[in-house]
Amino acid sequence: MVYNEDIDIKTLTKPLWITQRLQASGDTCLIPFSKIAVCDVEYLILESQTIALEEFQILAGSGTIAYLPLTNSFIKDENGENIPLEDIIQVLPKLETLRM
């Protein structure tokens, strides 16, 4: 098990099971969505990210996110339109804190 360690995502050979916390920041989203088997984080921190709705659903699918800051971040539909906040909140049953 790896804790608080940088990982070269290009060399991953096994699916990822992400727990507790996932933070992505910067202009380029480097989350290896195709390599995520399970994502049951409580803290999802997105800073300066633009991700597709289907990618967000991978991250939020377990319904465990309690803390979600979306600092200068956007979740887009297949047409490139921003997803309404109500739709984002609807898939987060345990959400306690949302920051924008």
> 3-class DSSP state for residue 54?
helix
Residue 95 is assigned to a structural domain of this protein: yes
Residue 39 is assigned to a structural domain of this protein: yes
Residue 13 is assigned to a structural domain of this protein: no
Domain boundaries, position 53:
25-99
Residue 6 is assigned to a structural domain of this protein: no
Give Dmax (Cα) for the chain.
38
Residue 76 is assigned to a structural domain of this protein: yes
Annotate 65-92 with DSSP letters as a single string: --EEEEET-EEE-TTSPBPPHHHHHHT-
Residue 10 is assigned to a structural domain of this protein: no
Residue 75 is assigned to a structural domain of this protein: yes
Taking only the tens place, the pLDDT of each residue in 40-97 is 999 999 999 999 999 999 999 999 999 999 999 999 999 999 999 999 999 999 999 9
Nearest by Cα to 42 from 81, 99, 100, 97: 97
Prediction pTM value: 0.85
Residue 2 is assigned to a structural domain of this protein: no
**How many domains does the chain divide into?**
1
